[in-house]
Amino acid sequence: MKRRSFIQKTGIAGLGVALSPLACTKTKALDTEFLILGGGLSGLYLAYLLEKEGRDYILLEGSGRIGGRMFTRKDINRDVGGKGIGDGYAEVMSLINEFNTEMIDITDYMNSPTAIYKDGVLHNTWDSKEPNPRMLQYIAFGKEKQLGALDEWYKRPELDEVYSKVLKRNGLSEADLDLVNITANYNDVRETSVMNAYHSSAFRKYNISKRVLNFKGGTAPFIESIAKRLKKPVLKNKMVTSIDDSGESVLVTCNDGTSYKSKKVVSTLPFSTLRDVKMNASFNTNQEKAIQNLNYTKITQIHLAHSELFWEEDGSPAAMWTDTPLERVMNLSSHRDEKQIACWVNGTGTTFFDTMSEKEVAAYTIKKMSEIRPASTGKIEYLGMQNWGKYKYNKGAYAEFGVGQAAWFIDMIKPASNLHFAGEHTAHMSRGMEAAAESAKRVFFELIN
C-alpha cells in the first residue's frame, strides 16, 4: 500500500515524522529529465548508461570528489574503500574492458598465510593449534543449508536468524564468537542476521570468480575515466538536503541553496545518509522502515607504511589476526615491493579508536605493533586513518541486514512514485562494487521502460 509520507531524521528511533510540507516551487521549469543523487560507482555508471541512450540527466554529488566508497586517498596514496574485484564481476569487468583499465592479478599474493596473535603469543600459520577465526566461521557455516541461488537471501525468512545462533548450534563457544567478530565483516555476529553471510557465501559460490584483481594505480583513474566520458560534468559539493515529489515532478534542494527539478530522481545514497534528507514521497511501509533503520557496518582502517619487510626477519606471515584492539593487520600490497599494510577494525571494535585523537591512534598503533611484532620496531610509520562509520558521506562501509530486515528488501527498492533507488544496498544478487553496478543497470531499465 502506497502512502505519502515525510521522512526526516529526528535523532530518535522510530518512523518518519510529519513535517510541514516542503516548499515545492511548482512554477520552476524542469532542469532535466533524470536527476541522479550520488557520484559513486552506481551513480556514475547510471549516468553513463543514460548518456549512451541519449537521455538527459544531472548528477549531484555531496562531497568534493567522485567515487564514493571507491576512494583513492591522494594524501596517503592508498585505496581506503573498495579495491578488490573478482574476474567474474560481469558488470564491473565490462566497464573495465570498455575503459581499458589496467588491472593487477593479486590472487596468489592474497592467499598467503596469516598469523594469529592471541593471549600474547604469535602463532605462525593457519595450521597451528590455535583456531583460525576465519575458518571457524566457515566450518560452522558450511554445515548449514546453503542458498540455491544468488537472490534467495531475501526470499527465505524461515532461515533468517541471528548469525551467532547458527555458529553456536554448530559448536562454537562464546570465546570463538569473539574471534569470529574480529574477522567477519559485520558489526557484531551476536546481532547481525545470518542472511548477510548466506548472501556473501552464495555470491562467492555462484559468481564464479577465479582471480582477484586490483586497479593499477588505485581506483581513482578508473572512476575518473567513467566521469570523463560524461558530456555533463558531475556537480560536486551538492549535498542534498531535501527531496519533494509532487507526483508530477521532483524538486531536490542542496545545502548551498540551489534546487533542481526533474521528472524522476534516482537516489544512490546509502540509507545511512538518505535518512538525514528531508523527504516528501510515496514510500511503502517497509521502504520507510528500511530508510530509517537499515544497519551499516562500521570499519576503521589504520594505514601504515613499512620501510623494511619486517616479517621476513621474524619468519611469521605479514598478515595476522589479533585479539588486540588492532584486530586484523592486513597486507594490502599487490606484490612484494609494494608497501601497504593496514589495521582493519570492524563493528563494535571501532569504538575503541573513536574517542582518540589521530595522534593518539598513531602512537597506540606503533606501540602495539612493536609489542606484537618486535621485528616491526622502527620499521613502520603511521600514514593515516579512515573511519567509515563516522565519514559523513557514508556513515558506514556497507549495508548490513539485521534479523528480519532482509524481508524489507523487495519493497525497499521499489520506486516510490518518481523516486528510484540504486546503490550497493539495493542489489538483488551481487555484493560490493558489482552490487553498485548491478543496481545501476536495474534502475536504467526502470527509467527507460
Which position has the grid cell 549516468? 47
CA atoms within 13 A on the CB side of 225: 15
Q: Does 40 bind ligand FAD (CB under 6 A)?
A: yes
Instruction: Choose between 63 and 164: whose C-beta lies nearer to ligand FAD.
Output: 63
Task: Cell 621485528: give the residue.
Answer: 375
Stretch that binds ligand FAD, among 56-64, 129-137, 194-202, 327-335 (CB under 6 A): 56-64
299 binds ligand FAD (CB under 6 A): yes
Can residue 429 be called a binding residue for ligand FAD (CB under 6 A)?
A: no
What is the greatest pairwise CA distance in the chain?
Answer: 72
Residue 166 binding ligand FAD, by CB under 6 A: no
444 binds ligand FAD (CB under 6 A): no
Q: Which of 57, 198, 215, 398 binds ligand FAD (CB under 6 A)?
A: 398
Identify residues 196-255 at the interface with ligand FAD (CB under 6 A).
239-240
Sequence-distant (≥ 6) Cβ neighbours of residue 436 within 8 angstroms: 40, 41, 42, 45, 268, 422, 423, 424, 427
Quick one: which segment of 35-43, 159-167, 358-366, 373-381 binds ligand FAD (CB under 6 A)? 35-43
Quote the least distance from Cβ 430 to ligand FAD, whole Å: 8
| Least distance in angstroms from the C-beta of 132 to ligand FAD | 21
61 binds ligand FAD (CB under 6 A): yes
Residue 198 vs residues 141, 161, 316: alpha-carbon distances, Å: 9, 11, 32
In the set 432, 438, 442, 443, which binds ligand FAD (CB under 6 A)?
432
**Distance between CA atoms of 272 and 270, rounded to whole angstroms?**
5
CA distances from 75 to 78, 345, 358, 381 (A): 8, 21, 15, 15
Report, in angstroms and rounded to the nearest whole number, the Rg of the chain calculated over CA atoms.
Answer: 22
Choices 32-40, 160-168, 308-316, 413-421; region in contact with ligand FAD by CB under 6 A: 32-40
Chain-centroid distance, C-alpha 324: 24
Check if the beta carbon of residue 295 is closer than 8 Å to that of residue 275: no
- Which residue stretch of 11-19, 83-91, 311-319, 401-409 sits at the interface with ligand FAD (rule: CB under 6 A)? 83-91
Half-sphere exposure of 79 (CA within 13 A, CB side): 21
Minimum gap (Å) between residue 436 Cβ and ligand FAD: 3
Q: Which residues here bind ligand FAD, judged by CB under 6 A?
A: 37-43, 60-63, 68-70, 81-85, 239-240, 268-270, 273, 277, 299, 388, 393-394, 397-398, 423-424, 432-436
